[in-house]
Amino acid sequence: MIPRLDAKALIRGDAAPLRQLEQAATEIGFFSVTNTAISAQRAQAVLAMYRAFFQLPEADKAQVDMARTGANRGWGASGSEQVDPAANPDFKQFYDSGFEVPGSDLSVYAPNRWPEAPAGFRTEVESYYRDACAVAMQVLRAIACAIGAPADYFDAAFDRPMALLRGNYYPARPEGATARDFGIATHTDYGCLTLLATDGSPGLEVRKRGGGWIPAAAPPGDFMINFGEMMEMWTGGRVRATPHRVIGTEDERLSVPLFFNPSYDTNVAPMGSGDVISAGDHLTQRFNETYVHLQKQG
């Protein structure tokens, strides 16, 4: 079972929920939260915006195709990301926008590529992005407390977050799909914390430590939270980056993850180890491995 925690109780620092959080973070690596500052209505509004975008003709979406700019901002067509080298590229489509640093030549801070339609897309997505980052930061403070670090331990690392907000669109599983075809194949997220809104339909599966898969679902208004590779490194393996996947069903599905990645120059080597692992290098390497348009051939 994936635990479900009350965000307000976590933010208050209540002891019992913090213990549950510590257990969730260090064992299964996934939990859901309810009672955040983002209402079900807000989550539904942003999901509807992404849905309207994905329903546009391919030629319209191609105007903001990320393969054209080389930066990971804009639309990713079906087959444009391969998160597991042993599987085929994912059949999902997605749209990415994130934190921009004007004038930076780092691709993780590249300018966003906003589509002309649907009307109001940019405003809705930007405002949801801000609210989602605030919720993610509150949860990170609770995690710092839960693992016995100062509450503000992670704060300074997020002044220029390489945060990425994604809309995922999973069409019905394509005819002729094989055992190597997935909506999103088995992967761990790259960063620190992922805050995922979904339309409530099933599909997400989380790998159990002993093997096997647990279905995980959260209705709009609740969020799934999981941890990425940087968090696992940073905490010396205590907080777990758990593999997960979406095989896909006969129904379409939408999800909106916020990948809350730290600032480029954050050292995510294990706390107190004296080693240096650059968050920016790690994220850039993972993007280069998984975005098909950035993959090196041979």
Smallest distance, ligand AKG to C-beta of residue 82, A: 13
Using CB under 6 A, list all residues that contact ligand AKG: 166, 168, 184, 189, 196, 198, 204, 244, 246, 255, 257
Task: Return the residue matching tokens 């599987």.
Answer: 87
The amino acid present at 117, given as its one-letter code, is A
101 contacts: CB under 8 Å, gap ≥ 6: 109, 160
Residue-wise over 248-273: b if at least 16 C-beta within 10 A, else e?
A: beeebbbbbbbbbbbbbebbbebeee
Instruction: Work out what residue 139 binds among Fe ion, ligand AKG, none; the CB cut-off runs from 5 to 8 Å by kind.
Output: none
Distance (Å, rounded) from C-alpha 256 to C-alpha 258?
7
CB of 276 to Fe ion, least distance (A): 26
Task: Using DSSP, state whether 15 is helix, strand or coil.
Answer: helix
Answer with the entry of Fe ion, ligand AKG, none that 198 interacts with (C-beta below 5 to 8 A by kind): ligand AKG
> Which residue carries 């989380």 as its tokens?
206
Alpha-helical (H) ranges within the chain are: 7-12, 15-26, 40-54, 58-62, 66-69, 121-146, 229-234, 279-290
Residue 80: which of ligand AKG, Fe ion, none does it interact with, CB under 5 to 8 A by kind? none
Give the nearer residue to ligand AKG in terms of CB position, either 17 or 287: 287
294 binds, among ligand AKG, Fe ion, none (CB under 5 to 8 A by kind): none
Question: Residue count at the site for Fe ion (CB under 5 A)?
Answer: 1
Question: Applying CB under 5 A, does 90 fall inside the site for Fe ion?
Answer: no
Minimum distance between the CB of residue 182 and Fe ion, rounded to whole angstroms? 12
Of the residues 90, 189, 199, 232, which one makes contact with Fe ion according to CB under 5 A: 189
Q: Estimate the share of the chain in helix, then strand, then coil, as percent rounded to the nearest 5.
A: 30, 20, 45
- C-alpha to C-alpha distance for 273 and 263, rounded to whole angstroms: 20
**Residue with nearest beta carbon to ligand AKG:** 255
Among residues 43 and 246, whose Cβ is nearest to Fe ion?
246
Interaction between residue 232 and Fe ion (CB under 5 A): no
- Site for Fe ion contains 229 (CB under 5 A): no
Partner interacting with residue 168 (select from ligand AKG, Fe ion, none; CB below 5-8 Å by kind): ligand AKG
Q: Which residues are near Fe ion by CB under 5 A?
A: 189
